[in-house]
Amino acid sequence: MIADAWRKLDASRGGELFQTPIEHFLVRAYSFGGIDGLLARATVLEAALGEEADHDRKLRPKPKRNLSASDRMARKIARLLGDRTAADAYRALFKIRSLFVHVHGRADLSTIATEQKVVARRLSRRVVNALLDQATAGAPSRAALLARGAP
């Protein structure tokens, strides 16, 4: 299974869906544990599906200007995976990431619960695998894929 995913990743290099540094953060995500691994997995998701418009309201279409960056990412993940619960998993991961980044060194975040690690690992793996499937199937441009969501 890992070998198949790596072959897909190798075949997808240079393709538009993998022009962002997904591979770099993916390797880091699985090279580290604890908070470093969790942060890297959150970064994998942002590298995979994030857009400049997520952080710049002026670039968003009017009906979606009031959505936060994390809500925009949660929606993209849910659409890509065809799973609304994935949005909740992303929001939980984003909350942990934000707490650690904004209040660095919090004692209560020194130990990440196993369940949180598993959810982060599973979500990042599912998103990357979905993008690999799209890339090997000849997906449209990255912008078009993110605009419409995956089938």
- Full domain range(s) for residue 6: 2-55+63-148
In which residue ranges of the chain is pLDDT below 50? 150-151
pLDDT at res. 84: 92
pLDDT at res. 61: 67
pLDDT at res. 151: 44
Q: What is the pLDDT of residues 71-112, one digit of tens each?
A: 889 999 999 999 999 999 999 999 888 887 776 555 555 567
Entry pTM: 0.81
> Domain total for the chain?
1
Among left, alpha and beta (phi > 0; psi -120 to 50; other), residue 53 is alpha
